[in-house]
Copies of this chain bind each other. A is one copy, B any other.
Amino acid sequence: MIEFVGHVRFVDIIEFLGTFAFAISGVRMASTKNFDLFGAFTIGFVTAIGGGTLRDLFIGVTPFWMLNHVYLWATLLALLFVILFKSKVVKLQYTFFLFDSIGLGLFVVVGTEKTLAMEFAPWVAVIMGTITGSFGGMLRDILITQIPLIFRKEIYALACVVGAIFFTIGYASGMNIVINEVATASIVILTRILAVKFKWHLPTLKGEKSYD
């Protein structure tokens, strides 16, 4: 299949779907707060590109979405989709969860690989892969002034960390890059799906009653 559509186009399609799914989650979250269309579009876009943007600022390159307008179109499509198929969207919950997980897997691959290619240390690449996958959703939650889900939910960020570590080890040991990409994305996607299915979660840090 990768032979058939070509490596670049395969990744492009997945990236478009991932961006679309991330944007959908942002637009829907915005709709629960009665944002206007511009606000919903912005939250959707920020959710989709936030992680990669922070990564690019950290590694010192122009944010990726400034070089290709496909991310704007994916977000616009997500906005239209939520408007047109609002009732369906809820029924399609699981489909979006799958897209979202696939997007997560791909974002982790892209973020880790890009950082390694710029010759940062392996542990930096792991952090950048994790940021690429998870910072957009965190930003979405901050923008609607809600405590980021990521700090309290299932193994979301940990799926990123595990995938990014796998990719980095594969990269260092000369694994074929396409195999490494597909394996890493699969690990992230599976970890996320299994974590939700079996309600895996990290232990909570029990709180002191108050502080300061």
Check A35 against B152 for contact (C-beta < 8 Å). Answer: yes
In angstroms, how far is the closest chain B Cβ from the Cβ of A73? 11
Does A207 belong to the interface (CB within 8 Å)? Answer: yes
Number of residues on chain A facing chain B (CB within 8 A): 63
Does A212 belong to the interface (CB within 8 Å)? Answer: yes
Check B86 against A39 for contact (C-beta < 8 Å). Answer: no
Does A179 belong to the interface (CB within 8 Å)? Answer: no
Does A176 belong to the interface (CB within 8 Å)? Answer: no
Q: Determine the distance from Cα of A28 to Cα of B208 in the docked complex, in whole angstroms.
A: 8
A141 nearest CB neighbor, chain B only: B145
Check A82 against B32 for contact (C-beta < 8 Å). Answer: no
Which of B69, B72, B121, B157 meets A38, CB within 8 Å? B157
Which of B37, B57, B143, B205 meets A202, CB within 8 Å? B37
Check B150 against A201 for contact (C-beta < 8 Å). Answer: no
Q: Determine the distance from Cα of A27 to Cα of B120 in the docked complex, in whole angstroms.
A: 27
B-side contacts of A148, CB under 8 Å: 39, 143
Among A111-144, those with CB < 8 Å from B are: 120-121, 123-124, 127, 138, 142-144
Instruction: Rank and list the top 3 A-B pairs by shortest CB-CB distance, nearest first.
Output: A39-B151, A36-B202, A31-B205
Chain A residues engaging chain B, CB cutoff 8 angstroms: 27-40, 42-43, 53, 57-60, 62-63, 66, 69, 72, 82-83, 86, 89-90, 120-121, 123-124, 127, 138, 142-153, 157-158, 201-212
Q: A32-B211, A33-B147, A58-B63 are in contact. List 13 more A-B contacts (CB 8 A).
A: A27-B205, A32-B207, A34-B152, A34-B205, A36-B152, A36-B205, A39-B150, A39-B151, A42-B151, A53-B58, A86-B206, A86-B208, A144-B147
